[in-house]
Amino acid sequence: MGKEYLILKLEDYENNKKDFPKASSISDLKNKVKDNQEIVYITLNYEYEKSLIKLAYVKKTLTIPSYLDILAKNKNINFSQVLQNALKKRIRNSKLREVKYFSFFFIIQCKNFFKKIVDKNDFI
Domain ranges of the chain: 1-113
The neighbouring-strand residues paired with 37 are: 109
Q: Which residues contact 33 (CB under 8 A, 6 or more apart)?
A: 39, 107
Global pTM reads 0.43
What's residue 21's pLDDT? 77
Report how far residue 98's alpha carbon sits from residue 61's, in angstroms, rounded to the nearest whole number: 25
117 or 92: which leads in pLDDT = 92
- The answer to whether the CB of 8 falls within 8 A of the CB of 53 is yes
Report how far residue 111's alpha carbon sits from residue 119's, in angstroms, rounded to the nearest whole number: 12
pLDDT digits (tens, 9 = 90+) for 27-77: 888 888 887 777 777 777 877 777 777 767 788 898 999 999 999 999 999
